[in-house]
Structure 1
Amino acid sequence: MGVNQKVRVAIVGSTGYGGVELIRLLLAHPNVEITSVISSSSAGVPIADGFPHLTEIMLDNLDGVDVDLIAQKADVVFLPTPAGVAAELAPKLIEAGLKVIDISGDFRLKNPASYEQWYKHKAADENYLVEAVYGLCEVWGNEVTETTRLLSNPGCFPTATLLGLIPAIQAGWVDPDSIIIDAKSGVSGAGRGLNLSAHYSEVNENLIAYKLNKHQHIPEIEQALSRIADRPVTTTFTTHLVPMTRGIMATMYAKVVGEHSDTDFVELYNQYYEGRKFVRVRRTGTWPATKHVTGSNYCDIGFNYDARTGRITIIATIDNVVKGAAGQAIQNLNLMMGWDETTGLHFTPIYP
Structure 2
Amino acid sequence: ALTAVTSRQEAGKPIEEVFPRFRGAAKIAELRFIEPDIDRIVDTGAQCVFLALPHGVAAEFAGPLVVRGLRVIDLSADFRLNDPAVYEEFYGGAHPCPELMREAVYGLPEFRAEEIRQARIVASPGCYPTSILLPLLPLLSRGLIAPSSIAVSSVSGASGAGKKADATLLFAEVNESVRAYGAPKHRHLSEIEQELSLAAGEGVIISFVPHLMPVTAGIASTTFCLPKGALSELSSAVSEAYAEAYSGSHFVRVLGEGRFPDTKHVVGTNHIDIGWAVDHRAGRLILFSAEDNLGKGASSQAIQSFNLMFDLPETEGLLNY
**Which TM-score bucket, shorter chain as reference?**
over 0.9
- Aligned to 2:34, the other structure's residue is in SS state coil
1:42: how far off? 2.1
1:48: how far off? 3.0
1:82: how far off? 1.4
1:266: how far off? 2.3
Report what 2:224 is aligned to. 253
Residues 275-332 of structure 1, C-alpha deviations (whole Å, 9 max, x = no match): 0111110133221111111111111100000111110000011101010011110110
1:224: how far off? 0.2
Does the alignment pair 1:180 with 2:151? Answer: yes
Counterpart among 29, 32, 36 of residue 65 in structure 1: 36
Alignment of 1:99-248 (within 5 A): 99-145=71-117, 147-248=118-219
* Residue type at the aligned position of 1:91: G
- Aligned to 1:40, the other structure's residue is in SS state coil
Residues 227 and 234 in structure 2, CA contact (< 8 A), matched pair in contact too = no
Report what 1:35 is aligned to. 3
1:162: how far off? 0.2
Report what 1:268 is aligned to. 241
Does the alignment pair 1:301 with 2:274? Answer: yes
Report what 1:316 is aligned to. 289
* Residue type at the aligned position of 2:199: I
Residues 9-47 of structure 1, C-alpha deviations (whole Å, 9 max, x = no match): xxxxxxxxxxxxxxxxxxxxxxxx111010022211233
Counterpart among 50, 62, 76 of residue 48 in structure 2: 76
- Aligned to 1:101, the other structure's residue is in SS state strand
Residues 282 and 302 in structure 1, CA contact (< 8 A), matched pair in contact too = yes
Does the alignment pair 1:54 with 2:22? Answer: yes
Q: TM-score, normalised by structure 2?
A: 0.95
1:127: how far off? 1.7
CA distance in 2, matches of 1:313, 1:124: 39
Residues 256 and 274 in structure 2, CA contact (< 8 A), matched pair in contact too = no
CA distance in 2, matches of 1:288, 1:264: 20
Residues 38 and 64 in structure 1, CA contact (< 8 A), matched pair in contact too = yes
* Residue type at the aligned position of 1:111: D
* Residue type at the aligned position of 1:292: H
Residues 105 and 155 in structure 1, CA contact (< 8 A), matched pair in contact too = yes
- Aligned to 1:70, the other structure's residue is in SS state helix
- Aligned to 2:256, the other structure's residue is in SS state coil
Report what 2:251 is aligned to. 278
1:209: how far off? 0.4
* Residue type at the aligned position of 1:224: E
- Aligned to 1:144, the other structure's residue is in SS state helix
* Residue type at the aligned position of 2:68: A
- Aligned to 1:124, the other structure's residue is in SS state coil
Residues 261 and 275 in structure 2, CA contact (< 8 A), matched pair in contact too = yes
Kindly report the root-mean-square deviation, in angstroms, between the aligned alpha carbons of the 2 structures: 1.4
Q: TM-score, normalised by structure 1?
A: 0.86
Report what 2:58 is aligned to. 86
* Residue type at the aligned position of 1:118: F
CA distance in 2, matches of 1:130, 1:284: 38
- Aligned to 1:35, the other structure's residue is in SS state coil
Q: Post-superposition, which runs of at least 4 consecutive aligned residues in structure 1 deviate over 2 A?
A: 45-57, 260-264
Residues 185-239 of structure 1, C-alpha deviations (whole Å, 9 max, x = no match): 0011011111012110110000010011131100110000000011110000100
Seen in structure 2, the aligned counterparts of structure 1 residues 122 and 46 have a Cα distance that, compared at 3 Å, is farther
Query: Which ranges in structure 1 are unaligned for 5 or more consecutive residues?
Result: 1-32
Residues 67 and 96 in structure 1, CA contact (< 8 A), matched pair in contact too = no
CA distance in 1, matches of 2:148, 2:217: 31
CA distance in 2, matches of 1:40, 1:123: 23
Report what 1:338 is aligned to. 311
